[in-house]
Amino acid sequence: MAQTKRHFNAWNFFICWLVSLGQIAFGYPASIIGVTLAQPSFLIAMGLLDPTTGALTKNADQLIGATSGVFQAGAFINVFIAGWISDRWGRKAGFLWCSLLSLFGGALLCGSRNIAMFIVARFFAGGGSWGFLSVTPAYSAELAPPDLRGLMVGLNGINIALGYGLASYMGLAFFYSDNAVAQWRSPLGIALIWPFMMLLVCFIAPESPRYLLMKGRVEEAKAITLKLHRIKSDPDDEFALSEFYQMSKQAEIDRTLDPGWLELFRRPSYRKRCLFAMSFAFIGQSTGVLVLNNYGPTIYAALGYDTEYQLIFQCGWISVGIIFNAVGALIMDWTGRRPLLMIGVGGCCVALILEAAMVATYAETNSGNEAGLRMGVAAAYIFLAFYSVGVDVAGVVFYSELFPNHIRAKGIALSIAVIALTDLVYLQATATAFANIGWKFYLIFIIISGLGTIFVYFYLPETKGIPLEEMSALFGDTDDIAVYAADIHLDHTTHEIVVDEHGQEQLRRRSANQQRASEQNARTEGKGLTSALGNGKHDDATATTHVDKV
């Protein structure tokens, strides 16, 4: 069926928004460590700061790095577990698993008595929170219509940034508490709200119809699809019925294909998808975004600002992310994914060059140049604007679209695992790198993001508006496509699905254009309408392959 207009359904948007809230359960725990490490009360309680001298204790840098490193290690492991659960028992089961793991890890964090307990708790909290980053985009993509998938999956990016923002806001709010313990335990305790919220969402959100079709639960899938994609301007539900027909026929093929992990690398076209997704995952994190996020207060301290201003700047920085993630989600279905991905990585590279120059010139030399220090803060803000609109929100949509139904959860899990592993390496090294080589650490991110911009320009495909069932055409797997949306029509008299031979829709449109041109010529020359219609008619344009009832 030709996609000529936006198929917006308010209930569908609401469900996709509810599902995307899982990213707050990711973003808040992932970001809270940044403001926690900025609290002197936490550092003292964990034995990382000498309250008398105000200096870090021995091995403090390594232990601080470990709090971030084990979080990413837990993430790396659980994204695979969460993907397997989502494929085996459904997308909602993946939500339940991640919620329970997040609650367990979050409770341990809030109640930690020493740094060893805190580090162990971060492992479980990292697994639970990053599991949402793996499960939620696939869930959203399978619920959204093709022409609004950028917006509805892009809600995930907005809520990632919102989770980051809430962590920063809570860190700043409790900084003013007179209770030293409450300053850092309370923001950690608030992290328990979000996974509990997602347990409640599981009672409202429907299961993915594509998952149900893969399990042979056809009637359930049809009911959900009609409810989510029914629109007022389409009283016969032509769009929803045609989309469901395509989904169901594709599921018949997908159920016969190998869904194993090895197939992701054994089959050339799947291997190419993995290469694109994993490469961009590495490039996106090699902009240094999580380093700036988790060590933001440390960087502002290097620029000469005290604890209060460090937290204020961190809140402002995160707020930029929320705004520009929203911008990216709103424009992505118009601009496409590829331009945003390229602009995002390239813009990050330029902003990093500026940030490194300000730190090297003014912060590390203690020059006291106020304008230079402010420019360093501004460069970090500019960086996040580019990252949010072009990497964060566009990236999460891109990963969710690339893979076919039977391996989508695994493909996304693999992409997110690369992100977690990349962050693990960078975050483990960051504290030591800043202490020993300072601004030169930025050169790694500058070089990789510069090369990454070139990679995006020359290699990444555009996925805008393409039904998930047709994405295989981008990678040469046309034999795996059951039917094309452009070839599906509804006979409004019999309410039967009519499927044209592939390519007939284009011929039909060409014939219609020729017919209109003939009519115009006939009017101009004074000829009758009947003659014009006769001259413009192409019988083969209406050839069909079969008719099915729905």
Band of pLDDT at residue 368, cut at 50, 70 and 90? low
Among 28, 204, 43, residue whose Cα is nearest residue 103:
28
Which tens digits make up the pLDDT trace of 208-238? 999 999 999 999 999 999 999 999 888 888 9
The rounded percent of the chain whose pLDDT value lies above 70 is 87
Among 269, 273, 217, residue whose Cα is nearest residue 247:
217
Confidence (pLDDT) at 175 = 83
Q: Which range scores top for mean pLDDT: 71-75, 169-173, 226-230, 298-302?
A: 226-230
DSSP 8-state symbol, 360: I
Q: Which residues pair with 56 in a beta bridge?
A: 49
Query: What burial class does residue 203 get, using C-beta atoms within 10 Å of its C-beta: 0-12 exposed, 13-18 middle, 19+ buried?
Result: exposed
**How far apart (Å, rounded) are the C-alpha atoms in residues 164 and 185?**
17
Which tens digits make up the pLDDT trace of 454-497? 999 999 999 999 999 999 999 988 888 999 988 998 888 887 88
Whole-model pTM?
0.84
Confidence (pLDDT) at 376 = 79
Band of pLDDT at residue 6, cut at 50, 70 and 90? confident
Kindly state the tokens that stand for 302.
Answer: 């290097």
Confidence (pLDDT) at 236 = 86
Confidence (pLDDT) at 532 = 34
Place of tokens 């019925």: 241
Band of pLDDT at residue 539, cut at 50, 70 and 90? very low
**How far apart (Å, rounded) are the C-alpha atoms in residues 467 and 146?**
5
Interior CA angle at 51 toward 58 and 437, to 5°?
40
SS3 assignment for 394-409: HHHHHHHHHCCHHHHH
Average pLDDT over residues 53-74: 84
